[in-house]
Structure formats: structure tokens, C-alpha cells
Amino acid sequence: MANVKTYLNKILSAVYGKDVRGAIHDSIDSINEQVETTTAAENARVSAEKTRVSQENARKTAESGRSAAETARVNAEADRAKKETTRYQSENSRIASENKRVVAEKARESAETSRINTEKARTSAETSRIDAETKRSAAEEKRSSAENFRVKAETTRVSQEDTRKKNETTRTTQETSRQTTFTKLKSDIDTKLKQMDQAIQGSGSIVIDATLTQEGQAADANVTGDRLSVALERTAVQSYDLTPASDSVTLMDGYSSLMTCGKVGVLRAIGTIEKNTALQFGQLYLCKSPISSPIPIMTYALFFSLTDEGSFKIIPIVFENGDIYLEMPGRLTFPGQFLIDMVFVTEPAPPPVG
């Protein structure tokens, strides 16, 4: 703005009205110019200020928006970081839970496997127990059956032994009587023969029976000779130990005896066989054969299983090479007992006449 004081001094110093008016005009014009200039500048300034203020306000608004956006970004970042932290923690928790679940699942699977193995072992043990119980029951039944059969066999054996002893006693008594009769008969015959020799030489006579005629004395001599012949055909009894002819046969006990009376033979044998491991046949020696034959002769014996009551087999007896053997098939059920009682003639019978 112009210095007003200068224009005021001009007005005050003017003498004439014209000068005063000129001074006032100049002062007003100058002031007006100054005012116009100042007003334009002021307007420009005001406009610029408004623009500046507007721009400042816009800047502030923008800054506020930026600040709000930044704040929102920071908050969002913080929230994101928080959520990320939460997510990370949740993930860690999930992983830990998953690990625990996996460990628990493995423990469950291990426990299940252990349970299954335990169940299998229990089932196997139960099966083994049932099998063992079944076998035990079967074995007990067989043992009981074998024991019953053994008792029966023992009773039979005792009865047979008693019968054998009675027969042996009878045979001994008969043999003693026979020997006594034979001794007396032989003495009588020796006496008769001596008397006959003396009669032939004319130094004595035969006194058989004074009441007999000559024909009666001859008949008496024939009877005496027949009795002597019968007495000379003595009964012989031989006992043999039963001996397995092979290692496959295991004999528990037994005996055999061969009784011959003239041309007639009787073979009796009884024994208990524990086992026979032969694949086909196992031989058991009985005795020497009284029969001389160029070819083997076969007959049969009875075999009773001690473990299968009531079961019996017919098995061969072979006369071979001067010996008698019992042929035992390997398929027999052992232990078992065999019985032999057979009669045979030591010489072939003569052919029939006519």
C-alpha cells in the first residue's frame, strides 16, 4: 500500500483549490490504484490462500485418509500378524494334536496287535488244550480199555496157567504111574525072558500063569508086548524161550512148549508183544520144528490187541528150515497177545487102503 502520509502532506500544503483537488485526486487515484493492486493481489492471495487452504485441507484429508489407511494397514497388519500368530499357534497345536493322535493311533494299533496276538495265543493255547484233552481222553479210554483187556487177558492167562499146572500135575502123576508100570512091566518081561531062555536051554520053565492054556499064554505074551510098545513110546515135553528173530520185534513176556507123544505133536505158546517196527513182517522164534519137510509149512495163530478190546487177527505160523516162526504183520495194533494151540503128526499118515 502507498504511503498515505505523503499524499496527506500534499493536500495540506496545497494553497489553491485546484491544487487541493489535484492533490486529493492524485491521492485518491494513487490510493485507488494501490487499493486495486492491493485488492487484486489480496484476491490473488486470498484465492491462492484458499487454494492453499483447500490444497492443505485436501492434503490433510488425504493425509488423514493416508493416515487412516496406514492406521488401517498397520491395524490390518497387526491383525494379520495376530491372526498369523494365532494360525501358527493353531497349526502348531494341530501338529502337536496330530502327533499325539498318530502316537495314540500307533499305541492303539500296537495294543490292537498285542490284543490280536494275545487272542491268537489264547486261541492256539485253547486249541492245544482241547486237542491235548481230546488226546488225553482218547488215551485214557485206550488205557482203560487196554487195562480191562489186560485184566481179562491176565485172568485168562492165570486160568490157563492153573489149567496148565493141573494138566502138568496130572501129566506128572500119569508119568510117575507110567514109569512105575513100565518098571514093573519091564521087570516082569525080563523075568519072563530069562525064564524063556532057561526053558530053551532046558534048565527052567516059564511060569506066566499056571491056569492058562498054551494058547492063553501066547495071547498073554502078545498083550504084554503091546503094553511094552505103548510104554516105550514115551511122551516128551520141551519148553522154549521166545526169542525175537529180528530187532524190530520187542517181546514183553511169553513161553512156548512142544509136547510129543509118539508121532503126535502138540505146540502151545502164549506171549505179549510190545511193538513191531517192521514195515512188512516181524518174525518171532517159537521152537525147533519136529517136522522134517523139504518145503515150508504154514498154519495160523490168534493175535489179540491189548489197546483195541475185542479186536483179533489171524496171523501165520511158518515151519521153515527146521524152526517154527510166528509171522507178525506190521499193521497190527500193538501191544498185543498171541495164542497158539496146534496138533500135528510128525510123519505123514499112510495112504488109505483100496
Q: How far is CA 284 from CA 185, 203, 287, 317, 323, in A?
A: 44, 64, 10, 10, 11
Q: How far is CA 91 from CA 58, 81, 86, 104, 262, in A?
A: 45, 14, 8, 19, 116
User: What single letter denotes the amino acid at residue 214?
Assistant: Q
Q: Select the more confidently predicted residue: 127 or 298.
A: 127
Answer for the pair 185, 221: CB distance below 8 angstroms, yes or no.
no
Residue 113: the pLDDT is: 92
Q: What is the mean pLDDT of residues 122-138?
A: 91
Q: What is the mean pLDDT of residues 5-23?
A: 73
Residue 122: the pLDDT is: 92
pLDDT over 80 at 304, yes or no: no
Cα–Cα distance measured from residue 279 to residue 235, given in angstroms and rounded to the nearest whole number: 41
pLDDT over 90 at 116, yes or no: yes
- Which of the residue ranges 19-23, 105-109, 323-327, 340-344 has the most confident prediction, judged by mean pLDDT? 105-109
Tell me what the pLDDT averaged over the chain comes to.
74
Answer for the pair 8, 27: CB distance below 8 angstroms, yes or no.
yes
Least confident of 130-144, 164-178, 211-225, 282-296: 211-225
User: What single letter denotes the amino acid at residue 239?
Assistant: S
Q: Select the more confidently predicted residue: 283 or 349.
A: 283
Q: Which domains are delineated in the chain?
A: 237-346 (2.60.40.1830)
Look at residues 353, 274, 268 and name the one whose alpha carbon lies nearest to residue 302: 268
pTM of the model: 0.33
